[in-house]
Amino acid sequence: MKVASFYRFLNLSDPESFCDALRALCSEQQLLGTILVAGEGFNGTIAGSEAAIKTVIAWIEAKLALDVPIDGRWTESTDAPFRHMRVRIKKEIVTLGRPDILPHKQAGIHVAPDQWNALIEDPNVLVVDTRNHYEVEVGTFPRAIDPGTDNFQQFQEFAEELAEASRDRPLAMFCTGGIRCEKATALMLELGFKNVYHLQGGVLNYLAEMRPEDSCWDGECFVFDTRVAVDRDLAEGGYVQCHACRRPLSSDDIASSDYREGVSCPKCIDELDENRAAGLEERRRQVALAAACGERHIGPK
């Protein structure tokens, strides 16, 4: 199954009707995934046949009369990485909490993957990972600063503190597919940074374009679907996800005595109250019973 991630910041004058038509097309093409639509553009990851995905992308390009084709990040998945197809209206296609910041009006400079290594090796350049801390734990670039965020809305506080201390330093910013770092560059420019760069297409594009021997990436890359992470070849990686806290788990985490499949892991064992633990344990039991009967348990996520 093919998986494509794509986005575009632009002025979308009628997001509601665009959303309705796009939802119908994705259903017709039997796709799975999520596409977010807002006045600032669209952002999606969809899975299905290559032909179906290309049909949707071509429709978007024609519908919006795009001068520049959509450059999606393509990966593969053995199993369906999503359960449903959702096309939703949002205030922002990536939630920074600043719908007034418009990257299609002002953003940093794109850096192609083959130019990225030289940029981040410059000791004067601050390398900033705009992703959440649990994503950083799975993999990142050398010298990259971890903002320590649980979600992208928390990034502005980190950005304001960084501006107070290092406004005169050049910035090299990156994220999974390019959308968070692009919006982050617009914020950094607003905060007074002058030389702001971001990795074109994000880590997924970097891994697709760079030869393994030339890659500076360390670890795997977290993705927001059932694959949890992909490796340097963009194949499904070695992480699983804790059902309780949704954090990625390594083989060492799974080997821990604090790990119980479907119930807890070393990262959330101290956060889990008795009622929540009991509910997760019951769900684990129901899943096991369904599997023993050759069925799939259907219940809350």
Which residues have a catalytic role annotated? 175
Total residue count of the chain as it appears in this document: 301
Cα 261–chain centre separation: 24
State the Cα–Cα distance between residues 74 and 65, nearest whole angstrom: 23
CB 267 within 8 A of CB 247: yes
User: What sign does the CA torsion over 138, 70, 76, 25 have?
Assistant: positive
State the Cα–Cα distance between residues 140 and 143, nearest whole angstrom: 9
State the Cα–Cα distance between residues 240 and 222, nearest whole angstrom: 10
Closest CA to 82 of 38, 130, 45, 121: 45
Q: Name the percent of the chain in helix, strand, coil, to the closest 5.
A: 35, 20, 45
Residues facing residue 196 across a β-bridge:
171
Longest CA–CA span in the chain (Å) reads 63
State the Cα–Cα distance between residues 101 and 182, nearest whole angstrom: 11
Phi, psi of 269, rounded to the nearest 5 degrees: -55, -35
